[in-house]
Structure formats: structure tokens, C-alpha cells
Chain A
Amino acid sequence: MRRVLKAPISTAIAIAVGLVVLVGYFFPFPLLDGLLQVALLPWALILAAVALWIGVLNLLYVHWRKVRERQKGSIYSGVLVLALLLTTMIGVGLGLNNTWAGRLFTYVQIPIEMSLMAVLAVSLVYACVRLLYRRFNLFTVVFALTVFLVLLSSVPLPFGELPFLSDTLRPWIAEVLTVGGARGVLLGVALGTVATGLRILTGSDRPYGG
């Protein structure tokens, strides 16, 4: 297999760092541990923090350009810019413990996001009802029936818990079927992570470019 490394330096750095971190997991050598703790991890945290700032500044620049050029939907961009500046000023200037910061967070951000979640709840119920009409087959019936049973067994009902659903069916669904599937998902994720790490270590995958 012919591979051409366009950026051999960056590739070498990535492979070397990955090997150091991986070896540090299995062999707690003081030198490797010190190198990892002193140099590599702070660099990674600094880069992540700078990346967050770059993201915020980029968001501000993009929407500010839309407002300046008066593009379509620039009013929303203007609202976003104003909200960003206001939140930043309150958070940085007054601090997170300030009452205005708590109010801003409690009365603006949380209701907005919770409203979205509420709409999601209504939409899911409606979609589940229509699913049986649009795609009426065995799997949709099983899906809808499972949702129905889990809903009934997850919360205590006004007339009390259902004997079979609450103590037998619901735990079996949640702890056997669901956990079995979740473990399969976790194993797949772990194998995928190992494969991705090996690809990065061997230089086959270069998400850093090159």
C-alpha cells in the first residue's frame, strides 16, 4: 500500500504523542508520566480553550457580517450578537454568582431550552401515534407497544402501580433488553475507539490534516 504523507512532521508528532500517552496508560513510568502531565496535557487544554474562544469569536464575526451587510435574516443575527455581548458582559463583569447572571440564566436560557424539550415530548407522542398509520407493520407495533408499557410502568399511576408491569415487565425491559443492547453499543464504541486510535497511531487516519 502506497502512502504519501504530505505533512510528515505533523504525522510524526501525532504518532509520537499517541504512543507516549498509550504507553503511559500501561506502564506508569515517572518520565512518561511527567512528560504527559507537564507538557502534553496542558497543551491540549490550552488548545481546547483557545478553540472555544475562536469558536465564539467566529460566531460573533459571522453574524456581525450578516448584520452589517443586511442579509436575509440579519435581525436574528443582531439579536444573537446582542445576547452574546450582554451575557459576556454580565458573566465576565458581574460574575456568575451575581443575581443578574442567575436571572438571565433562569429566565432566558433555561426556559428556551426546556420549551424545546417540551415540544419534543409532544412531537414524540404525536409521531408515535401517526407511526402506526404511516408504517403499519410488525416493528412499528412492537415499538409503540413497548413505549406504551414503559410509560405505564416508569411512573406511579394515579390508581397505583400495576402489579406485573411495575415489578416484572418494566425491570425486565429496562435492565435486560435495554442494558443488553446498550452493552452491545458500548462494546462497539470501544472497538471503534481502539480502531480509530490505531489508525491515528499508524498514520492511516490523519484528522489533523496532511
Chain B
Amino acid sequence: MSEVRCPMCGKTNPEELENCQFCQARLKPLIAPSPDDKPRRIPEDVEKPEGRESVEFEPDTEIPESVIPPSEEDEGVPEWLASIRTRAAEEGFTFEEEERAEAQFEEGEEPEWLTRLRTKQGAEGEVLVEGIQPEEEEQEAGYLERIRVLRGTEISESIEVQLEEEKEVEPEEESSVESEIPEWIAEDVDQEAVVSEEAVGEDYGVKWLRGTGERADYQISEEVVEEELSAPLEGTTTEEIAVSLEAEEEIVEQRELPEWLADFEEEVILYEEEEIPEGEVDSVREAQEALETPGTVREPEEAKQAQIPSKFSFEELPDWLGESLEEDVQIKEPAEEQLAEEEELLPADLPTWLKAMRPVDSISATISDIARVDEDVLTVGPLAGLRGVIPAEIEVSKPQAPPAYPLKLRVSEKQQEQAVLFEQMIVAEEEPKPILKPKVGRPSPIWRWLLTLLLIAAVLWPIISDRQNISLPTLPPAGVLAASELISSLEMNAKVLIGFDYQPGLSGELDAAAQSAVEHVLMRGALVTLVSTQPTGPALAVRFFQDTQAEYNYTWGQRVVNLGYIPGGPVGLYNFARLPQRAKPYTVEGYSAWGGEAGVLAPLQGIQQLSDFDMVMVITEEVDVARSWIEQVQPVLASTPLIMVVSAQAEPLIRPYFEATPNQVQGLVVGLAGGAAFQQLEESTGLARTYWDSLSTASLLAAALILLGGLVSSSLAIFERQNQERRAV
């Protein structure tokens, strides 16, 4: 059981169904079917070659009326066609001629025109061939060649091969001629074998008709053709052939041809003269190839016009036919003049069946038809190849490149100005604003030098003038008082450990601060041992004693021992506090401090630990050093008092140890003021007294400069700030 594929949905249906059982689309065309006209089945395995569009059979638009048998025509004639015929009959148009030709064709009789032609050219073909004179043979050969070129008539490939071998004409010309042979002839040979031998075999003038015969007829006629073509072409050159072709054309023009053939020739000439745009050449070629494929049916314009009299209006035709014709008419408007000429030249005696069979469709298809074919043909899906079908997939679902939109905006001048203004605003915002650094006036060297000179003068003036007008502190501080009491409590030959842990730069302050205290110790007849945790400490100690205590006639190694530098900072102090003999076995001079040939030095006799000393005094300006003494040494001192002589800058951090209860520092002398107070307390003279006036004068001047300068600076700052605020406002 055969099946028919629905042209709409692509599903298979039984052959007897008229409508698709799935989509209810009509499977059979609306026109009256002929006995041989069966629904076309599209083989599933057939794939359309890429890049090549084929036009499928469209039964509802293009089937010529002439191919429908008369017997069934009456039964299947639609109303519109019947009305057309009726009107044609009323206006005198009859189909008798066509019917008669078809009848003759069916009965095997020759048509009248063919008989007339046969009579004119000779009844027998062989006689014609033999009886042709040399001149006539040349003319005949040229004529045949010309006709073959113009018509694109195909002589079978075997004949062409033989012709090439025998005639040995220029291959280019032969190949060009061969390429122009349409394929429809060869296809017609297979498809239509109804033409009789008598109708086609012996007529040279209608050579293309011979192609419609059977292969056996070809074999018969090939011999004749060979004889025709070989004789005149032997020994001729290309130029001679060209000259003969020109002469042949004149003869052909004069030769009486069948009217239909003359009309057809004019059509070919018109078609060849029609200019085809270069861009449409490919589409034309593809359309021609598509038209040449089996199953494609093209209706020549002449056939349409013959079937539909011009007198009929489109209103009487069915919509689909009318629209199609209207489109054709509209598309072919530019060629109206050409069509008018063709209408004048159209013969009326051409048989309809011959019109339907002749290959005019391959050359009469206009560019507009080809373009329309290209536009409407469906290229994908089961309906590929059909024209005028609603596409199965919508355009948006097809993968395609995104549309390119122009980047340039269409804006008015005002909008453009606003955009420019907005861009300027954005750019202004993006620009980094420079950070306004506050104006820092460089210190004036004049003021610096003036300030320096004033301070130097204030310091030097009391020294130069040797005036000590400023009185010493009348009330000594508590630390000085405690230190004085502790020193005063020392017995004769008491052992005192003094640590010189200050820098040479602060020796001016600390020498004056410690002078009175050390002097008081020496006055008490104590034996002094000197150590230092600073590398410069031992030298400072020597200098201190040489400068300030020279009057006491001390001898190094006898009443004063310099053990030198204790390395290791706090660890060294800890070690020295635990084991002074191991920590410092030698003096600065290199003598054994704890038991050499001379025995133990007097200041160190009986000293095993630091707690064996009667008093420990530390002279320092550094807080860390003072703390190291307090933290590492004071715990092992037991009842031995610790007196601190510190600079003024270290007082705030050392005073807590003195004021604590129990205090870790039993006496505290702070700076030059402390030294002066101690000196005042002891009623002695010394560096503190010498420096006191200078210190007082310089401190007063410094305070005055700070006050005056501060007032001026504050006024300037306030004034400048107000100016800035005014500028900002």
C-alpha cells in the first residue's frame, strides 16, 4: 500500500485520502487529475543538493490545459474553466484546431503543417540528403549548426563524439556548442516516447523534435546526420566555417520556416538580447538547472497567454489564478513592449500539445520568475523545495547573526549641546582636585639667629660679668634633703658605690648636680668605688674627680677605685649585684681589685655583695639606666640606701620610686636645681652656683621668648585663619 506524504506537515498518508489525516491539508490538487497524474511522492532518502534550489511540481498553477485528455476534461473541468470556454465560444474562439491536432496525433496522422513542410523539403529524407548540392550542403550544414546553437538542441553524446572525431573542428567551438545543449531533450527522450518515428525521424528542420523520439529513431537518423555533417566540414577551416555561417544565416533568414519555429527563434533572440544583471546570473543559472530537473514543469508565457485569452478579465478567474496572473503581469511590466511584439508575432496555428512540450520554458522564463522562485522556495524541512509554503520555522528561531545597528545616535543639536555640557560636568568631577597644602613658612634664619644670640647672651652674661645675684633655693626639695641626711649618716671609711651612668653631653648638668653630693661623701671620709654601665662612664668618672674633687687629695686605688665598665646592661648589673668580685675583678688601671699582690683594695675590703656597701649612689640622665639600677640592684641592697642623682628630664619617671612607700630610692637629687639646693644645704660652693645665674637668666629668657613668640604666633594664626575664612566666604 503506497503512501503519500503531506506537503504541509510532512507526514505520510494513505494514497486514497484527499486530505491529510493529521493536518487536514489537501493531498491532491484541485485541478482535474489525469489518469497518469498521481500524487507526487517525495522519497524520503532524497536529499536536495546544497546550494541548489529546485522547483517542485505545482499542479494547481502550472499544469497546462492541453495535457489534460479531452475525455476526462469534461468531467473534471472546474466552473471557472467552463465559463472561460463558454465565453470563448461565444466570442468565436474555438479549440477545434487543437482538438484536431491532438486527434491526428493520436491517430498517427501527420499534422497539416508537418505535411506541408515535408512536401516542401522533399518527401524522402535520403533523397534530400543525396540530392543536396555542395553549396546547398554547406548551407544546410551551417543552417543545422546555427539552429543547433540557437535552439540548444541536443544531439546525443555519441553523435557529438563522432562529429568531433570526424570533423576535427575547433574544440572550443564544439565544446561551447555542447555546453549549450539543454538537458530537457535528453530527459524528454526518456519520459516521452509517444512521438512516432514518422513524425520526427526525417525532418531536419525540426531537429529538436527528433530528440523526443525513441533511441531507435536516433540510431536511424544518426547515419543521415553524419553524412550531412561530415561532407561539408571536411577540409574546412574555422574561418571558412565562420564565413559559411554568416552566409548560412542569410539563407536561413530567406528560407521559409514554420511559423512557430520562426516565432520561437525570435523569442530566443529576444531572450539572448535581454540583459541580465551580473548579480542575477547565478540565480538565473540555478533556476535553469532547477527547471531542468525532473518533475519541474514550467509553463511558457505563450502557453499561458494562449490558454487565457487576453480578453478575459482577471475578475472571472479564481482568486489563486487571478493573483498569479496579476503578479506575472506586474512583474513583467518592464517587458511590455517586448511582449507586445511577441504577441504580434505569436502564431495561432501552433498545436497546443506541441506548445506544452516544446522547451520554451527553459528560455522564456524571465528574470522576475527566477527571482520569485528564489524568494518563495522553502529550503528546509520536509517541504523543502516547495514554493509559497508558510515556513515551518519562524525567522526569529533561525540562527542568524545579530543585526548591526548604527552606533551613531540621532540627536538634535540641543541634545548634543546638553550631552557635551553633561560630559564636561562629569570630566570636571573626575579630575583630581589638588590637595591644598597649608602654607608653611620656612623658619626665618634671622629670627633663629636672633633667638640663638639672645640665649647665648643670657647664658654667658652671668659668667662673664661674674655676677651671682640670683639667690639659691632656700627650701631644698625632699629628695635632696633625704640624700643629704643619708650622706651625713655615713661613718668614716664607709664604703660607697657610685655609678657614673650618664653621657658626656649632659655632664654639665649632672656634674653640677652631683658635685655637692659626692663632695659630701668624700668629706665624710668614705671609700668610693666607681662603676658604670656606659662605655664613657669610667672616663667621665675620672674627669669628674679630677675636676671637682681634686682638693680632697684622693689617690686612685687607695680611697677611690674605678672598676670601669659593666657590660650587659641590666644583666651585667644583676651579675654585679650578685657577684661583684666575678663581675669586675680588675680596676680600670688593670690592677686586681679583689686580692692581688697588694691585697684587696681598701674601698673593696669586706665587700662580697653590693649589700655590703654602705651606700649606693647612681648618677644618670637616662630613665632606663635608673630603672635598671632600681630593679636589678636595689633588691639585693637590703638596707643599703640608694640615692639617685638624675637630670631634670628623668625626674618624672624616677620620682615615683622615691615617693613610693616603701621607697626604692631613698634620696633624689634632680638636675642643677637639686645640686644648687644640695649646695645651699651644705653651704658650699661649686658648679651649681656658677651655673645658677646663667640657668636662671636663660630659663627666664626662654620663658619670655615662648610667651612673646607664642602670643605673636597665635595672633598671626588667628589672623590668617580669619583671612582664610573670609576668602572661603
A133 to B441, CA, bound (A): 10
- For B657, the closest partner residue in chain A by CB is A186
B23 at the interface (CB under 8 A from A): no
Cβ contact within 8 Å between B656 and A182: yes
B307 at the interface (CB under 8 A from A): no
Partner of B655, one of A148, A155, A179: A179
B33 at the interface (CB under 8 A from A): no
Q: Which residues of B contact A49 (CB under 8 A)?
A: 567-568
Q: How would you classify the secondary structure of chain B's contact residues: helix, strand, loop or mixed?
A: helix
Q: Which residues of B contact A102 (CB under 8 A)?
A: 539, 542-543, 546
- For A193, the closest partner residue in chain B by CB is B631
- For B472, the closest partner residue in chain A by CB is A156
- For B651, the closest partner residue in chain A by CB is A174
Cβ contact within 8 Å between B455 and A45: no
A121 to B459, CA, bound (A): 12
Identify the stretch in A60-68, A123-131, A197-205 within 8 Å (CB) of chain B at 4 or more residues. Answer: A123-131
Cβ contact within 8 Å between A128 and B706: yes
A96 at the interface (CB under 8 A from B): yes
Interface string of A126-141 (1 = CB under 8 A from B): 1011111110100001
Q: Which residues of A contact B712 (CB under 8 A)?
A: 129, 133
Given contacts A37-B579, A152-B700, contact A133 B574 (CB under 8 A): no
B434 at the interface (CB under 8 A from A): no
A151 to B609, CA, bound (A): 42
The minimal Cβ–Cβ distance linking B122 to chain A, given in whole angstroms, is 119
The minimal Cβ–Cβ distance linking A150 to chain B, given in whole angstroms, is 9
B13 at the interface (CB under 8 A from A): no
Q: Which residues of B contact A48 (CB under 8 A)?
A: 567-569, 571-572
The minimal Cβ–Cβ distance linking B475 to chain A, given in whole angstroms, is 8
A125 to B714, CA, bound (A): 15
- For B477, the closest partner residue in chain A by CB is A171
A45 to B583, CA, bound (A): 8
The minimal Cβ–Cβ distance linking A110 to chain B, given in whole angstroms, is 4
Cβ contact within 8 Å between B705 and A42: no
Cβ contact within 8 Å between A182 and B653: yes
Q: Which residues of A contact B447 (CB under 8 A)?
A: 126
A147 to B551, CA, bound (A): 39
Interface string of B623-649 (1 = CB under 8 A from A): 000010000000000000000000010
B496 at the interface (CB under 8 A from A): no
Q: Name B529-565 residues within 8 Å CB distance of A.
A: 535-536, 538-540, 542-543, 546-547, 556, 562
Identify the stretch in B76-84, B107-115, B225-233, B505-513 within 8 Å (CB) of chain A at 4 or more residues. Answer: B505-513
A12 at the interface (CB under 8 A from B): no
B713 at the interface (CB under 8 A from A): yes
A102 to B540, CA, bound (A): 9
Q: Which residues of B contact A185 (CB under 8 A)?
A: 653
The minimal Cβ–Cβ distance linking A139 to chain B, given in whole angstroms, is 13
B473 at the interface (CB under 8 A from A): yes
Identify the stretch in B49-57, B131-139, B205-213, B716-724 within 8 Å (CB) of chain A at 4 or more residues. Answer: B716-724
Cβ contact within 8 Å between B536 and A41: no
Q: Which residues of A contact B652 (CB under 8 A)?
A: 174, 178-179, 181-182
A44 at the interface (CB under 8 A from B): yes
Given contacts A96-B562, A136-B713, contact A156 B473 (CB under 8 A): yes
Given contacts A105-B504, A158-B470, contact A136 B697 (CB under 8 A): no
Q: Which residues of B contact A114 (CB under 8 A)?
A: 504-508
B381 at the interface (CB under 8 A from A): no
- For A147, the closest partner residue in chain B by CB is B706
A28 to B508, CA, bound (A): 43
The minimal Cβ–Cβ distance linking B408 to chain A, given in whole angstroms, is 58
B440 at the interface (CB under 8 A from A): yes
Interface string of B510-522 (1 = CB under 8 A from A): 0000000000000
Residue count of chain A within 8 Å CB distance of chain B: 58
Given contacts A126-B448, A152-B703, A158-B469, contact A52 B505 (CB under 8 A): no
Q: Determine the interface band of chain B, counting residues with CB < 8 A from chain A.
A: 35 or more
Interface string of B669-681 (1 = CB under 8 A from A): 0000100000000
Q: Which residues of A contact B443 (CB under 8 A)?
A: 126, 130
B710 at the interface (CB under 8 A from A): yes
Cβ contact within 8 Å between A158 and B697: yes
The minimal Cβ–Cβ distance linking B244 to chain A, given in whole angstroms, is 109
Q: Name B477-507 residues within 8 Å CB distance of A.
A: 503-507
- For B716, the closest partner residue in chain A by CB is A133
The minimal Cβ–Cβ distance linking A146 to chain B, given in whole angstroms, is 10
- For A87, the closest partner residue in chain B by CB is B539
B589 at the interface (CB under 8 A from A): yes
A48 to B692, CA, bound (A): 40
Cβ contact within 8 Å between A136 and B717: yes
Partner of B471, one of A37, A106, A156: A156
A152 to B583, CA, bound (A): 45
- For B635, the closest partner residue in chain A by CB is A25
Cβ contact within 8 Å between A97 and B542: yes
Given contacts A44-B575, A45-B572, A96-B562, contact A151 B470 (CB under 8 A): no
A136 to B562, CA, bound (A): 52
Q: Which residues of A contact B571 (CB under 8 A)?
A: 41, 44-45, 48
Cβ contact within 8 Å between B695 and A155: yes
- For A47, the closest partner residue in chain B by CB is B568
A44 to B575, CA, bound (A): 9
Q: Which residues of B contact A158 (CB under 8 A)?
A: 469-470, 696-697, 700
Q: Name A96-119 residues within 8 Å CB distance of B.
A: 96-97, 101-102, 105-106, 109-110, 112-114, 116-117
A134 to B442, CA, bound (A): 11
Partner of A130, one of B538, B568, B713, B721: B713
The minimal Cβ–Cβ distance linking B661 to chain A, given in whole angstroms, is 14
A157 to B701, CA, bound (A): 10
Q: Which residues of A contact B713 (CB under 8 A)?
A: 129-134, 136
Given contacts A48-B568, A179-B659, contact A157 B696 (CB under 8 A): yes
Cβ contact within 8 Å between A105 and B535: no
Cβ contact within 8 Å between A45 and B709: no
- For A183, the closest partner residue in chain B by CB is B656
Partner of B714, one of A105, A132, A154, A175: A132
B392 at the interface (CB under 8 A from A): no
A7 at the interface (CB under 8 A from B): no
The minimal Cβ–Cβ distance linking B683 to chain A, given in whole angstroms, is 17
Q: Which residues of B contact A13 (CB under 8 A)?
A: none
Partner of A105, one of B543, B648, B709: B543
A95 at the interface (CB under 8 A from B): yes
B582 at the interface (CB under 8 A from A): yes
- For A137, the closest partner residue in chain B by CB is B717
Cβ contact within 8 Å between A125 and B655: no
- The list of the 4 closest CB pairs from A to B, nearest first, reads A113-B505, A129-B709, A133-B713, A136-B717
Taking A42-B582, A117-B508 as given, write out 4 further A-B residue pairs in contact, using a Cβ cutoff of 8 Å, ordered by the A residue number.
Answer: A48-B567, A112-B505, A134-B713, A158-B470
25 A-B pairs, CB-CB below 8 angstroms?
Answer: A42-B575, A44-B568, A44-B571, A49-B567, A95-B588, A96-B542, A106-B547, A110-B504, A126-B451, A130-B709, A131-B713, A134-B717, A144-B706, A147-B703, A148-B710, A151-B706, A152-B699, A155-B692, A155-B696, A156-B473, A156-B696, A157-B696, A178-B652, A182-B656, A186-B627
Q: Measuring CB to CB, which residues of chain B are less than 8 angstroms from any residue of chain A?
A: 440-441, 443, 447-448, 451-452, 455, 469-473, 503-508, 535-536, 538-540, 542-543, 546-547, 556, 562, 567-569, 571-572, 574-575, 578-579, 582-583, 588-589, 627, 648, 651-653, 655-656, 659, 673, 692, 695-700, 702-703, 705-707, 709-710, 712-714, 716-718, 721
Q: Measuring CB to CB, which residues of chain A are less than 8 angstroms from any residue of chain B?
A: 36-37, 41-42, 44-45, 47-49, 52, 91, 95-97, 101-102, 105-106, 109-110, 112-114, 116-117, 121-122, 125-126, 128-134, 136, 141, 144, 147-148, 151-152, 154-158, 160, 174-175, 178-179, 181-183, 185-186
